[in-house]
Amino acid sequence: MIEAESLDLTLESEYKGLLRAFLENKSEQDLYKAQQYSKRLLEKQISPEDMVSLHYAVLEEMFDDLSSDIKESFSFLLEIMVGYGLAYREHQSLRDKQLELEMQIDVAANMQQTLLPKEIPQMQDVDIGVISVPAGKMSGDYYYCVKNESGQLAVAIADIIGKGIPAAMCMSMIKYAIDSMPAYTLEPSTLLNNLNRVVEQNIDPSMFITMMYGSYDTNDHSFVYSGAGHEPGFYYSAKQDRFTDLYAKGLVLGVSNNTNFREYKLEVNVGDVIVLLSDGVTECRIGDQFIEREEITALLRRYIHLTAQEIVEKIYDDLAQLQDFSLNDDFSMIVIRRKV
């Protein structure tokens, strides 16, 4: 004997009425009512096997001459529905957990946006362009671009090796660590040394951070910078009309607390351009192949006559189009050009 024990009496009696009405009338209206009834079953979390049991009980009540084969077939169907019901409930549980995780990721992604500079500094002598586009909801890239009253511009670009919520937490740690330091008065090597200690003491050993940090002084138009295992940028000399790699030797942040970061200095002339970027730019793929750095400098040369912001946007548009607008990695670029 199959029994529907989990259904309340209201749902049970309603189903009997719906089934009787359909068998008598076979109308579209009765089918529509059945669809509405199924929604209430979902709300009440009624299992498939309970509905099979109820259907069988109603048929027995309506028809006295059900054959033994039909009765046995319901027992067979019930066994199938028990297994299906367990799998369905497990699926629903996993789906609920997935939705909860996506909500947490949305919160973390929104938090990430609050950590980035809200506007790009406007300076009389220097033109600045910035773009940062995540490959997914959350980004592993971080950039910093702030000026002070003495005419110095502090810029940084970092890549957090890791994704998701841990990357967002690392990003917040970097931001507040930099904000807590007198970044305008610290030499780039000193700032990276301080950051390295913070990172090494506070993040999981499986995670680490690459960074390029520099200070542009508009008083003498010098750019002093240091790197921590980060992707080399580019330097464009307007006088020579030539690109060179902006390379800075240094170990990634968080690996060892006994490391020093070398400083480099450039004298920036009118029209010269400094380019900082993440490896999501140089590791853009066309099919199975990474693009060459020469292809990036070719794009920079093509758009070198535009404003700094137009340059970064044009290069992103071109590289995104080559990848069918599907980024394999986070894309970040900062362009600084001396105007006068």
pLDDT tens sequence across 152-194: 899 999 998 766 667 777 877 888 888 777 655 678 999 999 9
Beta bridge partner(s), residue 245:
234
Instruction: Tell me the CATH number for domain 9-96.
Output: 1.10.1240.30
Residues of the chain with CATH 3.60.40.10: 119-338
Question: What is the separation, in whole angstroms, between the first and last Cα of the chain?
Answer: 92
Boundaries of CATH 1.10.1240.30 in the chain?
9-96
Question: For the chain, how many helices (H) and strands (E)?
Answer: 9, 12
In angstroms, the CA 251 to CA 200 distance is 12
CA-closest candidate to residue 130, choices 293, 315, 283? 315
- The 10s digit of each residue's pLDDT in 213-263 is 999 999 999 999 999 999 999 999 999 999 999 999 899 998 888 888 999
Q: CATH: 3.75.10.20, 3.40.190.150, 3.60.40.10, 1.10.8.420. Which one for 119-338?
A: 3.60.40.10
Cβ atoms of 334 and 126 within 8 Å: the answer is: no
To the question of pTM greater than 0.75 for the whole model, the response is no
Specify the residue for token string 């773009």.
131
